């Protein structure tokens, strides 16, 4: 029997530091060990309670207890089982060494026998080895289960913000209270009008909170915006997998947020004054940037003269704004014309609801070789032909490509992916240009001009810029003698038709020629007469490629000039509206 004056430390441990897990483990150990100490007449001088895994060395409370043992504060330890003391070779070896040196004279376990003899130390080492084997084997089993979950498209960990873990289905489901707010985060940031800190303030104000009811920080929002799980992909330890959960956003919205984040990450000079046209214009003489100054209550614009002397003088910002307002009026389309065009485009859109079936089939067929590529990629990785990093990189590329095709198919099924929408939007926007030029704010004028033009220059206090594709077509048409007088021109009926004119060579899906009728002077007639060329929408030639991107098309304006000759204003193939 051990010496009655021998002092003992009581040690109890559970494997996690989360307060809501394994709550009864510590309580049960303490109750059993205290009762065991009373029965064995053991003197407990101090209790050590720890909530940390024993797989890795470095437990603070355990190390404190061992240090006290080395100083002679106690001669024995009472624990439930050897696996409570350690599950790694370093801590196990330290305990055996203290037994060898006589610092530990006794180890008491209700479920395990130990004596400080060669046989006892051998059995203790076996118990420590079994504990280490158990935790190592458990780790491998868990990793194998995680890999299988990922292959099945199931997120293996705690659900990210906006989702909840479903214990019955073993998957994640959208959180009905938080998911709309998470989607709102992406919608706001994708506009590019809100910095991350402002998005955080707005969404936190709407009531979005993190786990354990903690307030979300700016870095939390950055993590949300970078997390691919919200559009359906799972990224785990550098490898990408397809998810089977319900996405909160589309890949298009996610990519837009990444573009905004990349643009905002560029270094900017602090303390710049909010000039409306900063960085927009260049000098028409030397090509240097136009800089802004504020003097005597007015904003002025002048050449920065970085390349040397320049004769151009300053211009007032208000004068430049007036010129921009006048210039955009040149692409203002009569609302009656726009309404008629839009009405017929809407009709054409409803009649061609089934026109995208071939495109849908091609997208579906393109998924088959992608699946084969993924399988062959896995075979190459298993055969050692690819490193793990090469495999992960190529797999992520194929998975993203597959996800993009699946989203296109889904959009087509919802009738949102059509070739008419950008054309309709163009005419609708053109019909509101007149109102914008009269009542629009300077920032709105600037944004519209940037959208419709390029190569902005100032020379002799006059601005000049190049209109983009379809806006240039509209400007050229409206600048014609007949096109200018929109109020006196009647807008005729439009209808679908075909003619022998095939138009310019194109590589796009649909070809629409806009042929407006207008009043013109016929040579020798002595009076104004109406052109017989009707306004019409001409559908694509059946021989053209019907599988190209539906947003890419070619517009041609056909009209008759003052001499009665037919002329064409068109934009080349591949222009994007």
State residue 490's pLDDT score. Answer: 37
Give the tens place of pLDDT for each residue, 380-401.
Answer: 888 888 888 888 888 888 888 8
pLDDT mean over 229-237:
89
- Whether 49 has a pLDDT exceeding 60, the answer reads yes
Separation of alpha carbons 300 and 281, rounded Å: 13
Instruction: List, for residues 241-268, the tens digit of each pLDDT value.
Output: 888 899 999 999 999 999 988 887 655 5
d(CA 169, CA 163): 14
More confident: 405 or 545: 405
Q: Which of 335, 329, 551 lies closest to 427, judged by CA?
A: 335
pLDDT at 531 over 50: no
> 328: exposed, middle or buried (C-beta count within 10 Å: 0-12, 13-18, 19+)?
buried
Mean pLDDT of the chain: 77
**Domains of the chain: which residue ranges?**
7-146, 163-264, 468-577
Of 443-452, 472-481, 550-559, the least confident: 550-559
3-state secondary structure of 557: strand
Mean pLDDT, residues 364-383: 83
139 pLDDT higher than 50: yes
Instruction: Give the C-alpha distances (Å, rounded to integers) separating 558 from 28, 474, 498, 530.
Output: 89, 11, 14, 15
CATH topology of domain 163-264: Hect, E3 ligase catalytic domain fold (3.90.1750)
Query: Which three-class secondary structure state does DSSP give residue 276?
Result: coil
**pLDDT computed for residue 438 by the predictor:** 87
Sequence-distant (≥ 6) Cβ neighbours of residue 296 within 8 angstroms: none
What pLDDT, on the 0 to 100 scale, is given for residue 64? 92
Q: What is the pLDDT of residue 364?
A: 81
Question: Per-residue pLDDT averaged across 425-453, rounded?
Answer: 87
Task: Pick the range with the lowest mean pLDDT from 175-189, 358-372, 439-453.
Answer: 358-372
Position 503 scores a pLDDT of 31
Residue 520's nearest CA partner among 561, 475, 557, 487 is: 561
Which CATH homologous superfamily contains domain 7-146?
Resolvase, N-terminal catalytic domain (3.40.50.1390)
pLDDT of residue 301: 85
**305-323 residue pLDDT tens:** 888 888 888 888 888 888 8
Can you tell me the mean pLDDT for 470-498? 55
Higher pLDDT, 165 or 481: 165
Six-digit token string for 484: 């200018």
DSSP string, 211-246: GGGPPP-HHHHHHHHH-GGGGTEEEETTEEEE--SP
Q: Give the three-state DSSP class for 556.
A: strand
**414 has a pLDDT exceeding 80:** no
Stretch 140-162: mean pLDDT: 87
Q: Is the pTM of this model over 0.75?
A: no
């Amino acid at each position: 029997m051990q010496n009655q004056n021998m002092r003992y430390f009581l040690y109890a441990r559970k494997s996690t530091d989360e307060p809501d897990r394994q709550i009864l483990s510590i309580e049960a150990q303490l109750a059993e060990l205290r009762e065991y100490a009373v029965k064995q007449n053991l003197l407990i001088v101090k209790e050590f309670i720890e909530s940390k895994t024993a797989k890795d060395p470095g437990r603070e409370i355990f190390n404190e207890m061992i240090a006290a043992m080395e100083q002679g504060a106690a001669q024995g330890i009472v624990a439930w089982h050897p696996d409570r003391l350690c599950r790694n070779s370093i801590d196990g070896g330290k305990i055996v060494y203290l037994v060898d040196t006589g610092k530990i004279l006794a180890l008491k376990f209700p479920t395990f026998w130990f004596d400080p003899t060669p046989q006892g130390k051998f059995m203790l080492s076996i118990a420590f080895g079994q504990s280490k084997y158990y935790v190592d084997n458990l780790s491998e089993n868990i990793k194998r289960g995680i890999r299988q979950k990922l292959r099945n498209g199931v997120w293996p960990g705690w659900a990210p913000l906006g989702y909840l873990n479903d214990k019955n289905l073993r998957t994640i489901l959208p959180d009905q209270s938080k998911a709309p707010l998470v989607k709102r985060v992406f919608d706001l940031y994708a506009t590019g009008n809100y910095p991350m800190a402002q998005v955080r303030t707005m969404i936190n104000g709407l009531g979005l909170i993190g786990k354990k009811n903690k307030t979300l920080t700016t870095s939390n929002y950055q993590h949300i915006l970078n997390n691919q799980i919200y559009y359906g992909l799972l990224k785990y330890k550098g490898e990408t997998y397809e998810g089977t959960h319900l996405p909160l956003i589309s890949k298009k919205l996610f990519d837009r947020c990444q573009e905004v984040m990349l643009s905002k990450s560029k270094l900017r000079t602090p303390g710049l004054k909010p000039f409306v046209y900063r960085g927009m214009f260049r000098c028409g003489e030397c090509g240097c940037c136009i800089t802004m100054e504020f003097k005597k209550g007015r904003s002025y614009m002048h050449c920065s003269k970085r390349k040397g002397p320049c004769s151009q003088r300053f211009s007032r910002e208000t004068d430049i704004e007036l010129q921009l307002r006048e210039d955009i009026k040149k692409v203002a389309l009569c609302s009656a014309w726009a309404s008629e065009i839009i009405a017929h485009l809407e009709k054409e859109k409803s009649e061609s609801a089934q026109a995208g079936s071939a495109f849908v089939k091609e997208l579906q067929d393109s998924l088959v070789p992608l699946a084969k590529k993924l399988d062959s990629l896995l075979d190459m990785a298993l055969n050692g032909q690819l490193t793990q990093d090469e495999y992960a990189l190529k797999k992520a590329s194929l998975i993203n490509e597959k996800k993009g095709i699946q989203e296109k198919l889904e959009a087509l099924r919802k009738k949102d992916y059509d070739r008419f929408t950008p054309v309709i939007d163009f005419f609708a926007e053109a019909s509101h240009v007149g109102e914008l030029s009269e009542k629009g704010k300077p920032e709105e004028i600037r944004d519209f001009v940037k959208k419709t033009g390029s190569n902005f220059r100032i020379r002799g206090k006059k601005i000049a810029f190049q209109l983009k594709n379809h806006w240039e077509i509209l400007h050229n048409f409206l600048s014609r003698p007949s096109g200018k007088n929109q109020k006196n021109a009647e807008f005729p009926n439009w209808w679908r038709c075909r003619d022998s004119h095939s138009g310019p060579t194109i590589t796009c899906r649909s070809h629409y020629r806009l042929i407006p009728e207008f009043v013109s002077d016929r040579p020798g007639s002595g009076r104004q007469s109406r052109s017989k060329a009707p306004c019409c929408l001409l559908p694509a030639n059946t021989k053209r490629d019907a599988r190209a991107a539906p947003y890419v098309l070619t517009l041609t304006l056909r009209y008759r000039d003052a001499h009665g000759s037919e002329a064409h204003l068109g934009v080349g193939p591949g222009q994007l509206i």
